[in-house]
Amino acid sequence: MLSGLFPHWRRKAAERSSKFSSSYEIPVYANAAYYPNWRVYRKQPPSSLRLGFVSHVFYAFAWVKEDGTIYLSDEWADAQMPIDGTNGCIRAFTQLKPQYSKMKVILSVGGGGKGSENFALVAQSQSRLATFVRTARELVDQFGLDGIDIDWEHPANPQEGYYYVNMLARLREVLPAPRYVLATCLPAGQWALRNIDLGKASQYLDLLNIMAYDFSGPWTNETGHQAQLYARGGGHSGQSAVNYVLSQGVEPKKLLLGVPAYGRSFLGSSKTGQSYSGTGGEDGVFDYADLPRPGAKEHHDDKAGAAYCSGGDGGFVTYDTPRTVQQKAKFATKLKLGGLFYWHMAADARGPRSLLETGYNTLHEM
């Protein structure tokens, strides 16, 4: 699907070419990652990232006005700040495309809270939707982008789901395939997905990113894995989300399984299944690069496809590791999914503990 994506893979393919007939098709998977614009203020510009393992950069976020206009959520960081010899973080990514010739840079529209609050209003109005579609294409042209990612979190009922699909159809008209990528990011729970005709939506989409994380957190009354691949005795899991989406007629190759590059903390706890009363919000979130916590011991639950640490200053912290990402990548290749994506690349570790590098290498094992 993304043949010839990385120089690294091309070298491996050449080394093995004598083992296969000329009709053999190299199976290359997407290894996509989000970049939130505020991380540039932490001295993490595009030039500091290991983009050789990334197939798609989802630049987050642009927002939507009530009249349908898509606008940059941080004009200074996105388009004006001097970064990597150019103006703005978006151009800093797009200017790297000659160096990473198959990497796609895609603008993500929406996100949590304010980012998604006007989607329903805009989607159900013909005039507002026309403005939305027009300004989407204008931003793509202005910055030399490869497409748009719709991160509407999330259609709240079937009527909004209908408008959501219509929005995708209108965007596809102005961002025709295969020149442009049209993607979307959706929750993993059926409580949200059931409001959307996923099969019809996928007709317009190149990629459907499933957020297979945040299954547990401060909003739950019991500790648990936040991104488990498998659930024992039911419950949310990456597997259950994928199975549901595929059952709705979505082509496997369009589906990307989400991986968190962060951990969620349950203070005062040490394992799953403990009663918990948290404060909600984003309290107790650690970048994956800062895990395991000092003094904590890292554990793996291979049956769940999950990891955690306990004993440090974060209490019980649930997150992914190279070991769990290997499981998820093998799960993706077994089902012939499109690959993996990560929220977010700036929180990843370097070296042998890199989730992005582990995912890329495992996806392309033969």
By annotation, the residues acting in catalysis are 153
Q: Are 341 and 58 in contact (CB under 8 A)?
A: yes
The dihedrals phi and psi of 112, each to the nearest 5 degrees, come to: -75, 160
The dihedrals phi and psi of 359, each to the nearest 5 degrees, come to: -60, -45
Burial of residue 203 (CB within 10 Å: 0-12, 13-18, 19+) is middle
Nearest to 93, CA basis, from 30, 133, 36, 170 = 36
* Residue 301: Cβ within 10 Å count: 16
DSSP string, 153-182: S---SHHHHHHHHHHHHHHHHHS-TTTSEE
Distances (CA, A) of 180 to 82, 108, 169, 172: 28, 14, 14, 9
Nearest to 252, CA basis, from 133, 136, 352, 334 = 334
The dihedrals phi and psi of 143, each to the nearest 5 degrees, come to: -105, 5
Cβ partners under 8 Å of residue 259, min gap 6: 212, 213, 227, 320, 325, 328, 340, 341, 342, 343, 355, 359
Eight-class DSSP state of 5 = -
HSE-up of residue 125 (Cα within 13 Å, Cβ side): 13
Q: Are 334 and 303 in contact (CB under 8 A)?
A: no
Eight-class DSSP state of 76 = I
The H-assigned helical ranges of 217-354 are 238-247, 322-334
